[in-house]
Amino acid sequence: MLRQPKVGAAQTSPTLPTPAQGVRFTTPIVETPGIVVLASWIWRLVRFLVALPFRFPVMVSGLSVSVAAWWWLGWPGLTGLWGASSVVSLVWWRAWPDSHRRWVILRVLAWWRHVTVYRRHWQPVLVISGLAESYQERRYLPRIRRVTCDTWADRVRVSLVAGTAPADFEHRVSELAHGFAAPSCRVTVNGPRDITLEFPRHDTLAEPLDAFPMPHHVDLDALPVGRREDGSPWVLKLHGTHVLVVGVTGSGKGSVIWSAVRAMLPAVANGTAQVWAIDPKRMELSYGQDLFAHYADDGESAVALLERAVADMQDRAERYAGKLRSHVPTTNDPFVVVVLDEVAFLTAYHPDRDVRRRAENAIATLTSQGRSVGFAVLAALQDPRKEVMNLRNLFPDKVALRLDEASQVDMVLGEGARERGAEAHLIDPTLPGVAYVRLEGSPAPVRVRAAYVSDEDITAMARNYGRDSFAGEEVTG
């Protein structure tokens, strides 16, 4: 009969060593003598004081001069020094505001942000976001090398811990942005173990942009269509490439298309460029169809227009064979932009299978062969899935406006775009025209906003540059 254990007795099972278990060595603990700890603190203090003038030369120089003035001239001398400095700074600010902002205001702001924001919150933010590394019961943090500011963003240059990669930070851009109370965060790789974190201080693209003035000179490699997040113009290249614009309804695809057409109009007027438009919705491009050399708004006519573009492209390529390697726009061989609004209607939604097949073949031919002979495709799309549009990889330049899902960001801009800060699925619906752009050969997405071209602007464009205006000039002349 089995013997029952006593009530309240603790039962323990014997632990037997595992034969395959290796011998585990532990690091011995040795108490550090107090004199060594004191010497270490003194050494750190001396090193900090020696490096201080090199790290903060303006602050150290100002304090040194102030102390010297107080020592030799007393309080009146110190008051006069600061009064004269204030007058000089005021005159500098009023006479040369740009240089004053660059050399004084932004440097003071960088020092203040470094001390009160990044250095103060660096350890808790990195530990909680999982960017602190541990080795032999010691924690290692990436080191802040420098903080610089411009008019719209802070840039924190960081030295990585050995054994880590920039991708670790790219996977945590959302946590870093929220941790430092910034609208977003982007990672730039400078070199081995050297990255820069870019934190905008405010959204510079929150205000809508009016249509840009008509340019006098047209550069088809740099058409001004909007503004970048850093305040510089957003220029769109069309000559020698193809552009795919993707976004949900109301995201601002029309702003991108009409801004590009508006920037091309002087070249259209002198005959060195043409726009061929396809508008299945009959709502977006039909408003200014007088601006287009050819226009189609149903399946059959759209496919016929695409096949005509393919025939003209192949004829031009045959004439260029063995003579030219790149296209120069002329009145005889103008640069042709085929604008496709809602391209999914032709590639996926049209009920006629033959129309879908012909349209897909024509688009594939144009995008794969048209760059070098002066044919470009500017296509707009709502759903970027492959079953809807399987020709995404034939468009070197891509624009991602507001999207429905996070997975669609990488579908449009390429693998890893969302990890590099392209959060197109989080764009505010009240900001139409805001997008992320990824250009050919550049892995870093750029946040931009397209200018809004109103109905009145399109009416004025059609009146001044449409076919009827040219015909009227010929009759009166």
**pLDDT tens profile 175-190:** 899 999 998 888 888 8
User: What pairing do the DSSP bridges indicate for beta strands 194-200 and 335-340?
Assistant: unpaired
Closest CA to 56 of 141, 123, 146: 146
Give the DSSP letter of residue 452. B
Length in residues, the chain? 477
| CA–CA dist 371, 238 (Å, integer) | 9
Spatial contact of 184 and 153, defined as CB atoms under 8 Å apart? no
pLDDT band at 17 (very low <50, low <70, confident <90, very high): low
Token duo for residue 243: 């552009």
Structure tokens at 353: 């299978």
| DSSP output for 71-102 | HHHHHHHHHHHHHHHHHHHHHHHHH-HHHHII
Judge contact between 153 and 198, C-beta under 8 A: yes
Contacts of 413 (CB under 8 A, 6+ apart): 398, 400, 422, 424, 436, 438, 445
| 211 contacts 453 by C-beta, under 8 angstroms | yes
Q: How confident is the model at residue 469 (pLDDT cuts 50, 70, 90)?
A: low
User: Does the CA dihedral 153-158-160-161 come out positive or negative?
Assistant: negative
Q: What's the distance, CA 121 to chain centroid?
A: 26
pLDDT at position 12 is 46
SS3 242: coil
Are 306 and 366 spatial neighbours (Cβ–Cβ below 8 Å)? Answer: yes
- Rounded CA-CA distance 407/10 in Å is 55
pLDDT (tens digit, 9 = 90+) per residue, 110-165? 989 998 999 999 999 999 998 988 877 788 899 999 999 988 899 999 999 988 88
Please, are residues 371 and 241 in contact by the beta-carbon 8 Å criterion?
A: yes
Out of 84-93, 358-367, 464-473, the most confident range is 358-367
Question: CA 301, 307, 309, 315 torsion: positive or negative?
Answer: negative
Cα dihedral 229, 231, 233, 234, rounded to 10, equals 0
257 in Cβ contact with 411 (< 8 Å): no
**What is the β-pairing status of strands 335-340 and 273-278?**
parallel
CB 233 within 8 A of CB 156: no
Per-residue confidence band for 443, with pLDDT thresholds at 50, 70 and 90: low
Assess contact for 246 and 382: CB atoms under 8 A: yes
pLDDT digits (tens, 9 = 90+) for 26-77: 666 777 788 888 888 999 888 888 887 777 777 777 788 888 888 888 888 8
- Asked whether residue 14 carries a pLDDT value surpassing 80, the answer given is no
- Give the CA-trace dihedral at 45, 51, 53, 54, to 10 degrees: -170
The count of other CB atoms within 10 Å of the CB of residue 451 is 23
Our CA angle for 317, 318, 322, nearest 5°, is 90
More confident residue, 448 or 231: 448
